[in-house]
Structure 1
Amino acid sequence: MSEQETVQDGLAELEALPGGARAALEAVLMVIDEPATSEELAAGLNVTVAVVEDLLQDLQREYSGYTVKAPDVDAVGFAVASTAPRGFELRNVAGGWRIYSRSDFADIVGRFVLEGQTTRLTQAALETLAVIAYRQPVSRARVSAIRGVNVDSVVRTLTQRGLIEDSGNDPESGAVLYRTTSYFLERMGIGSVAELPQLSPHLPGLEGIDEYYDASRM
């Protein structure tokens, strides 16, 4: 059996389920704990990437409150129906797709999460994470020099949280270098570190700092 025939059989199998391939994809998106690429979703469902991407766009529109209806025989084109948006949305973050609660309801969701179930990062951890994000790959010694304090315990915490990871060793000193992870991108809601906000608007008098940080990444 050819690959095309296998994919066609996979799609036919999904369409035989309640809700078809669209519902099958939705079920997968509801259980994944990290963003999945179109290729990964297609492989898991045994369909083509093109099919998955069409379904993803369809679900994204529906969750945002817009659905596309099939045209009537006398109609020209498609009719777009507007409904109330869902409490969740489908985002393409950190190179993959995942369902998230809608940002409009962040305060409500935050109140629902019981205190103690999630531990917020300390100010020291946030500052260390910011240095690593803008200077990566960077060693602990360099981060300590920038912050003026020892960051060993903070780096361990950030590593345990999955926000940073080992990025190899410095060719000159042999020190371990650190970089941010895909989980960091996911939590920030961005696709790459290039989307991090520029620093200069927040630090008057340091107009050249963005170029400095950009050069340090090279």
Structure 2
Amino acid sequence: MNDPKALLVLEAALLCASAPMPMSELKKLFDDESLADHEVREVLESLQISWNDRGMVLVELASGWRFQSRESMQVYLQRLSIERAPKYSRAVMETLAIIAWRQPVTRGDIEDIRGVTVSSQIIKTLEERGWVEVIGHRDGPGRPGLLGTTRQFLDDLGLRALDELPALGSLEIGEALGSLNIEGEPAADMAAANIKQDETELVITGTHTDAADSPAEPIIFATDDQFGQVNPESK
């Protein structure tokens, strides 16, 4: 499909969209309902190439296609932000890492791995952020909810699917969480140093004390401004 008008239509729609656009929505832009996915994809790939030397890039994510600023532009765009970035505690980020790399997991699984009780507020924080959701229930007493990550989590990481997550135990875990714009203590220190694969099970190394996870003196991680203020969480 080599249609200059189709390229302009897709470009305009994607630039005006407030969220990633799935293929089904992109196809609605054209009268020809029989338009094949591969034909639209060809135009999207041409559009990607045409933006190669610009400050924006067209990417495919878990929930669709969107334009976003290049990483090299972030240092400049941050100067326009006047809001304070929200902050998450170490407990919240460790819980997110466990869910992401070990899903589906129950709250009990997370407590076994971290060695401390996981408060409902931590799970609620991740659910409200749109990164975590209940995707089923485990057979057994009480049928505990199974937690997994969402399409929003993949979108925020710039990924299309879970199989694009870095291998468990690799230093790239820190880089992956770092793409969520987590600041403060390096994400690599938290994720790569504290999470490892011990043959058959995920292990969180180190000692977790009340002081380490307390709201009074939390280990802080910050995400980018657009997500609003979130108070530090205790364990």
Same fold (TM over 0.5): yes
Q: 1: CA distance between counterparts of 2:117 and 2:107?
A: 11
- CA separation of 1:133 and 1:56: change in aligned 2, threshold 3 A: same
Q: State the Cα RMSD in Å.
A: 2.5
- CA separation of 1:209 and 1:96: change in aligned 2, threshold 3 A: farther
Of the three residues 93, 111, 118, the one matched with 1:126 is 93
Unpaired runs of at least 5, structure 1: 1-14, 65-84, 214-218
Residue of structure 1 equivalent to 2:45: 57
**Alignment partner of 1:45 is 2:14:** no
Q: Cα distance, 1:169 vs. partner?
A: 1.1
Moved more, 124-133 or 191-200: 191-200
Alignment of 1:162-177 (within 5 A): 162-173=130-141, 174-177=143-146
Q: 1: CA distance between counterparts of 2:65 and 2:10?
A: 11
Residue of structure 2 equivalent to 1:35: 20
- CA separation of 1:126 and 1:207: change in aligned 2, threshold 3 A: closer
Q: Cα distance, 1:212 vs. partner?
A: 4.0
Q: 2: CA distance between counterparts of 1:123 and 1:111?
A: 27
Of the three residues 95, 99, 114, the one matched with 2:82 is 114
Moved more, 90-99 or 176-185: 90-99
**Alignment partner of 1:103 is 2:88:** no
Residue of structure 2 equivalent to 1:193: 162
TM-score for both structures, normalised by structure 2: 0.65
- CA separation of 1:176 and 1:119: change in aligned 2, threshold 3 A: same
Q: Which secondary structure state, in structure 1, belongs to the residue aligned with residue 134 of structure 2? A: strand
**Alignment partner of 1:184 is 2:153:** yes
**What is the aligned-residue identity percentage?**
30
Q: Cα distance, 1:113 vs. partner?
A: 2.1
Structure with greater helix share of residues: 1
Equivalent residues of 1:159, 1:165 under 8 A apart: yes
Q: Which secondary structure state, in structure 2, belongs to the residue aligned with residue 177 of structure 1? A: strand
Q: Which secondary structure state, in structure 2, belongs to the residue aligned with residue 167 of structure 1? A: strand
Q: 2: CA distance between counterparts of 1:158 and 1:20?
A: 42
- CA separation of 1:24 and 1:120: change in aligned 2, threshold 3 A: farther
Q: 1: CA distance between counterparts of 2:136 and 2:158?
A: 26
Equivalent residues of 1:143, 1:151 under 8 A apart: no
Equivalent residues of 1:198, 1:210 under 8 A apart: no
TM-score for both structures, normalised by structure 1: 0.70
- Which is bigger in relative contact order (C-alpha 8 A, separation at least 6)? 2
Equivalent residues of 2:168, 2:197 under 8 A apart: no
Residue of structure 2 equivalent to 1:135: 102
Q: Cα distance, 1:50 vs. partner?
A: 3.6
- CA separation of 1:53 and 1:164: change in aligned 2, threshold 3 A: same
2:94 partner letter: E
Equivalent residues of 1:37, 1:96 under 8 A apart: yes
Larger of the two Rg values belongs to structure: 1
Q: Which secondary structure state, in structure 1, belongs to the residue aligned with residue 98 of structure 2? A: helix
Q: Which secondary structure state, in structure 2, belongs to the residue aligned with residue 33 of structure 1? A: coil
Q: 1: CA distance between counterparts of 2:107 and 2:6?
A: 48
Q: 1: CA distance between counterparts of 2:23 and 2:93?
A: 32
Residue of structure 2 equivalent to 1:81: none
Q: 1: CA distance between counterparts of 2:200 and 2:62?
A: 24
Q: Which secondary structure state, in structure 2, belongs to the residue aligned with residue 197 of structure 1? A: coil
